[in-house]
């Protein structure tokens, strides 16, 4: 009987830890290459609490010199989460200015054909809250 109780408590603890007090973290890839992603601002409801965390803008939380991976022009970017968001918006940034946004229906995006270093953010929304993540790509 004690073993069953112990197992039930362990399963509950694992479920609580797995759900967490932060939104799901994305897996971002270009082809087979994993993209370095930095978390940004988020808002998340977990049990009886609501956590809100603010951060600087995407251009301030990624370092183009160290975080960028080199990708081919016109490559396909893939963004997935462990829990599918209700909406997902990809934005391109230059400094503190958001240059463009596109809502991603499939989590896929064709990267530009023009060479350069691009700073992106992805904002995702779930019923429990939202999260923003930043990354940088060098198109060559």
Q: Tens digits of per-residue pLDDT, 4-46? A: 544 444 444 444 444 578 999 999 999 999 999 999 999 999 9
Using the 8-state DSSP alphabet, how is residue 113 labeled?
A: S
Between the alpha carbon of residue 128 and those of residues 20, 24, 89, 102, the distances in Å are 11, 11, 17, 22
Ramachandran sector of residue 71 (left: φ over 0; alpha: ψ -120 to 50; beta: rest): beta
What are the chain's domains?
A: 21-139 (2.60.40)
Q: Tens digits of per-residue pLDDT, 81-95? A: 999 999 999 999 998
Record the pTM.
Answer: 0.84
Q: In the chain, what's the furthest Cα-to-Cα distance?
A: 65
């Amino acid at each position: 009987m004690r073993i069953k109780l112990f197992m039930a408590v362990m399963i509950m603890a694992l479920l609580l830890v797995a759900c967490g007090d932060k939104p799901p973290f994305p897996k971002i890839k270009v082809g087979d290459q994993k993209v370095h992603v930095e978390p940004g601002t988020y808002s998340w409801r977990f049990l009886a609490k609501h956590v809100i965390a603010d951060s600087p803008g995407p251009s301030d939380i990624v370092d183009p010199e160290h975080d960028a991976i080199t990708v081919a022009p016109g490559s396909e970017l893939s963004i997935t989460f462990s829990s599918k968001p209700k909406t997902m918006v990809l934005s391109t940034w230059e400094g503190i200015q958001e240059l463009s946004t596109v809502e991603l229906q499939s989590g896929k995006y064709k990267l530009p054909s023009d060479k350069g270093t691009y700073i992106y953010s992805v904002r995702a929304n779930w019923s429990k809250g939202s999260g923003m993540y930043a990354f940088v790509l060098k198109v060559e």
